[in-house]
Structure formats: structure tokens, C-alpha cells
Structure 1
């Protein structure tokens, strides 16, 4: 029974670390792909390690977040089943696990490269600021999520010792804003007459405001990526990078369609992993970008 209990506890810790959310950490591979180093085995391994570091770091952040939100989550129809909120995972164990995992992430990051270690520390600090304050501040809540994507991308660049284009950071940040405001819109619509009962910051948003913010982020994301394909250092070496624009335009607009037609958007990672047209678009974009960068 004791062994079974320990296994259940480990399972609860892993569940709280949100493995499905780790898809966000795939952004660390962007500098590897767009810098033309995909054929460098050492660079690939470094990127994989960086990905693992941010999976650990983000997992530690989720553990602390769930301890902080345990009471509110226990009142939520869906989130009350989370291990910490339900009592399956004791808060003390969750906090201790978060500390151990965070220390491991930082240690591995510094072993990989000092800049990656520094960025991992910065990421953890940002996540704690989000958990204990920023997520209650309108606009800043989503901007802090966006900043996390920039840090991941920068760490990916540092891991393979390349200088990523500012355009790449801009695209990552704007895409995160797009997904973040879309998520807030979904949460607000789902809250209906009980707005603020769980996520207090929703009281400061309105459907119209979020529609405007989503539209703004949609346009900005498409424009920024289009400019990236013309004016970035990568584009200067590969004239046909612009051929990837249609895939990005369709992918973003497909996501907007799913948000407004099917009322999705509350779980971006689920959409990215289950919507077949979007998956095909992402794969086609990756294939086209790879051909342009490595075969032209």
C-alpha cells in the first residue's frame, strides 16, 4: 500500500506540473531551426536540454500556483479536481517538490550555459510574480505570459550560441498575447453571471474589450511574422521565406474561427494538439520553412 501511495503521490505531482502545457516550451527550438543549425547534433542536444529545463521550471511554477490558488480552485466546477485543490496532493509536498524541481532546473540550465541559467532564474522570478500578483492585474496578466515566451526563445538562442532576431522575439510575444487574450475571452464567456468568482481579474475585462484585444493581437501577429520573413537576418539569406506567410495567416485565422464559431480558446494546447486542420498547417509551415532554410 505504501508503494502504491508513493506512486499515486508522484502521479499527482506530475499531473500538477501540467505536461500538456509543456507544448509552450517548444518555442526554445525556434532559434535552432531558423538559425540553420538543425543539422548540428550538438545544437540539437542543447536545445533538447533547454526544453527539458523549461518543462521542469514551468512545472515547478504550476505547483506553486496551485498551492496559491487551492481555495479558489476548490470552488471551481472543473479545477476542484486538481490534486492540490482536492487534497490528493498535500500543499507542503507540492511546495517542497516545487523547490526541488526548480533547483534542479536551474542547476541543469547553468550546466548547459550560464546565460541559460540566468534566463531560467528570470523565468522562475517572472512566474512567481505572476502567481502572487501579476495575474490579478488587467492586461499585465497576459503581458507577463507573453514575457515568458520571450525568455524561452532567448534561452533557446543562448543554448545554441546564436543571436536570435528581434523579429523572432516580437513574433513569439505577439503570438502569446493573441493566445492569452483568447483564453481570457473564453474564461469570461464561461463565467457568465459569476464573473470574478474564481479569476478576479476577469472583473476588469469585458467581452468587447477582449474582442478588440484579440483583433489587435491577431493583426499584429500576422504583420510581425510577415515582416520577419522579409527583413530578418534569416530572410536576408533565404529569399523564399515569405512562402511560409500563408500558413501563418491561415493558422492564426483558423484559431480565431475556433474561438468565435466553436467557443474554444480556453485551452490553447488542447486546440493545437487536437484540431486536425491546425496540426496539418503547422506541419506544412515547418516543412516549408525547413526546405527554404536548408535546401535553398
Structure 2
């Protein structure tokens, strides 16, 4: 049989049941992985129980998960084409038939209000493949139902079905389905290349430019070996950071879907399979750690510490008031420490102190911006965070104060013996201070007006005024050498 064009559908037999799969078909996600990630986000120690539940079978595993988590049906990423198919099909029974557990499926069906019947796994029988085909034949009779599915396991169902919709898969599966039944339509998965670039957050690698700070402050930017080592350190940090970003997005699916911007992230929006994310995250981390060995074992330990801190932040600490912002500031500072270790220079006390306070200011700015956006949208508490809108004024005060303290540290450094050793005209560094005072004040005013990007680093990288500030500070520093 030939496969019809992607955008067309063939007439279907009136009265024949329309059975629709959930995972990967009606839903651009997978309930099993969604529930696993939701459970681990709540308590990572459940990872030790998952294999024990699986030993009792997939159906038992799904029931154990379903009894412990709930997934907000209103925010899940549905396939608009399948939804339209269901909405325009009103003259015959519509059945949600899935291998996911009934405890999680029923609320989805009730939310959509498009189904006359739900058939799902019950904790004893995993309703997938041949099991699903047998149940549908027993319920409707062979050939007396159409089925919309997305995977090779659905070929067992199409063997018994009167018609098929092939969703989120390639032409090979559509042709295999066409050899078994009439294919009404084939809706392939969209290209995922751009989604992966967005998921890896390559623009966030800008933060890893901090590894070059020790290279610049030690005046070793003309030393080729040091430049190469710093570049390796940047890529190693980038790989580990991308691995953490993927993992963080997987663990934050529910709160991300409730956020006006983060809901567009690839995993939250259902543009990338969760299983692929679970495989890519550790692969990127391992690649980063292996690359770090090209610098030194000491640098590898710094990178490993960064990863552990980031993992702790993602799993638990980002939900604890003030611990989250202190840790965010520390993660920025660790990049600078890593840059110093990579080129074998001792990190200055002054640079360390300046880094801690300026990054604490940026971390508080990030939380302030998130809360301000929540307030503007009529909410009183940020999802997945421990802050409420009542904390706005306090966060603003602490953030601005931390920024000004960083400038004060810079001013004290100018008159220190260390600056005299590195700069011929250290007094020219005083020109940096008013520029930094202006920038700190400006970003907090912009945030107060609700015009700040929810990632201050992205704002600083794209804001023309911030770019001019960086250039001016660089010129003043060079003139002092």
C-alpha cells in the first residue's frame, strides 16, 4: 500500500472506533519518563527503588510511580494535529488507549474531554504491543477500530486495525504500517537539530569565558600555552554545563511549563524525547571530565566539584532561600578558580572577593527578576522556588548592596601592594570604579522597571550599554599596565 501525503487524510468508516495512543502520539512526551523525573526531582533517593519496582514488571513500576506523583494535565505538551483529529471526530467512539498507568491517564482524559473510553495499564498488565492489540480486538473486534500510534511496537496493533495514523515517526514506520492496514495520514516528527542546540544552551557558554579572567589579570594573554589551556578549560566547563542544563531541564519539566518563557524549552515543550535527554546529559558530563585531563588532574577535580555543586543545586538547593543564590554566586566563582588552576597561577584574594560579591549581586538579580515577572502575571510565588513577592524589596536591597561591595573591593585593591606589582600606573584603575558603579545601579533600575531578562548574563551579553562598559573597563585596565 502507498502512504498518503503528510497533510492529507482519507475517509474513515463511520462508527469505527478511533483509538489513540498517548505517549509520543497525543502527547509529545512519555508519561513513564515524566513520572520518573517528577519523582526524582522530589526525592533523588527514589533512584534506588526504581530497579526493585521494575523487577516486578513494567506495569508494577508504572503503578508505583503513578501512586506517588501527579502530572498537571493542563500544562502537558499535546500534539495539535492529534487534538484536531479528535475534535473533528464526533460521530464515532474515541478511545484513549495507552500503556501508561490509568491513575495518570484518567486525569488527562478528563481534562481534554474528548474521549468516551479510556484503556490503560492497571498495575498488573502492561498494555503495550501485543497486549494492546489483544485488548482492542476483544473490545471492538478485528478491523473494527482505527489506531493512531508512533512506534514500531504499534505495528502489532496495526496488524489488527482497520486504519492507521502514523505520528512523530519517519517514513519507514509509515511504510511498515501501510503493509498492514490503510494509513489515513502520516505526521512525521519535526526536525530536532535546532531544538538540541537550544537544549544545550550554547549561548550560556558565555559564562565560561570567566575561565579567561585569571589569564587576563595575570597578564598572560600573550602566552600561547596559557591561552590553549584556558580554551580547553572553557570547552570542558561548557560540556559539563550543557550536561547539567539538560538534566536540570528534565527535572524542572513541571515548573518550566508554568513559566512564560521556560515553557518553550525543548523538553518542556515536547520537542525532544526525554529518553534522549537522559542519555545525553551524562555523556556530555563524561566528555567534559575526560577533556579536563588535558589540562591537569587538579583542574579535573575543580570541574568535578563544579558538577557536584551544580547537581546539588538542581536537585535540592535551588529550592532553599538564600542557599540558592549563594551557590549560584559560588558556581560563577568556581569558573574563575578553574581558569587559575588550568594555567597554574595563584588566585588573588582580591579577585576572589570581587567575584563573590559581584556574582552574588547577579544571582539575587536573577531571583528578583523572576519574582517581578510573577508579580506582573498576577502570581504571588515563583514555581519551584522558595521566594514570594513579599521578598522583592529585600532581594533588591541585598543585590544592590552586594554589587556596591564588589566595587569597594575593587577600590581597595587599587591601593594594595599586589596592584603595584602588576600595574605601572595603578591609579588609572580608579576610572573603572565609577563605570562599575554606574553599571550595577543601572541593571538594578532596569530590573525594577521589569525590563530585565530573567538571565542577567544573557542581558549583559546582549545589552549595548553593558558591552560599552566592558570595553571601557578593558581599556582602563590596559592603560594602567
Tell me, yes or no, whether TM beats 0.5.
yes
Matching residue of 2:446: 258
Matching residue of 2:341: 158
1:153 Cα deviation after fit = 0.5
Q: With CA pairs under 8 Å and 6+ residues apart, which has the higher RCO, 1 or 2?
A: 1
Matching residue of 1:291: 479
- Aligned ranges for residues 1-296 of structure 1 at < 5 Å? 8-192=191-375, 193-196=378-381, 198-203=383-388, 206-231=391-416, 233-238=418-423, 239-240=426-427, 241-261=429-449, 263-293=451-481
1:291 Cα deviation after fit = 3.0
1:264-295: CA deviation from partner (whole Å, max 9, x where unpaired):
252212321232222111111112212323xx
1:114-151: CA deviation from partner (whole Å, max 9, x where unpaired):
11111110000001000001100000101111111121
Structure 2: distance between partners of 1:213 and 1:196: 19
1:207 Cα deviation after fit = 1.5
Which secondary structure does the structure 1 equivalent of 2:268 belong to?
A: helix
Structure 1: distance between partners of 2:335 and 2:236: 10
Structure-2 change in CA distance of 1:149 and 1:243 (3 Å): same
Higher strand residue share: 2
- With 37-46 and 9-18 compared, the bigger mean Cα shift is at 9-18
Structure-2 change in CA distance of 1:93 and 1:174 (3 Å): same
Structure-2 change in CA distance of 1:262 and 1:131 (3 Å): closer
1:205 Cα deviation after fit = 6.0
Which secondary structure does the structure 2 equivalent of 1:85 belong to?
A: coil
CA contact (8 A) 1:230 1:242 kept: no
Matching residue of 2:122: none
- Please list every run of 5 or more consecutive structure 2 residues that lacks an aligned counterpart in the other structure: 1-169, 172-187
CA contact (8 A) 2:370 2:382 kept: no
Which secondary structure does the structure 2 equivalent of 1:194 belong to?
A: coil
* TM-score computed with the length of structure 1 as normaliser: 0.91
Structure-2 change in CA distance of 1:236 and 1:200 (3 Å): same
* TM-score computed with the length of structure 2 as normaliser: 0.57
Matching residue of 2:80: none
Structure-2 change in CA distance of 1:204 and 1:264 (3 Å): closer
CA contact (8 A) 1:258 1:265 kept: no
1:172 Cα deviation after fit = 1.3
Structure-2 change in CA distance of 1:237 and 1:19 (3 Å): same
1:237 Cα deviation after fit = 2.9
1:168-192: CA deviation from partner (whole Å, max 9, x where unpaired):
1111111111111111111111112
Which secondary structure does the structure 1 equivalent of 2:415 belong to?
A: helix
Which secondary structure does the structure 1 equivalent of 2:321 belong to?
A: coil
Which secondary structure does the structure 2 equivalent of 1:168 belong to?
A: helix
Structure 2: distance between partners of 1:270 and 1:163: 29
- With 20-29 and 10-19 compared, the bigger mean Cα shift is at 10-19
1:165-220: CA deviation from partner (whole Å, max 9, x where unpaired):
02111111111111111111111111123233523322386112112212321221
Detail structure 1 runs of 4+ shifted over 4 Å in the superposition: none
Structure-2 change in CA distance of 1:250 and 1:212 (3 Å): closer
Residues matched between the structures, number:
291
- Please list every run of 5 or more consecutive structure 1 residues that lacks an aligned counterpart in the other structure: none
1:54 Cα deviation after fit = 1.2
- Larger radius of gyration, structure 1 or 2? 2
Which secondary structure does the structure 1 equivalent of 2:480 belong to?
A: helix
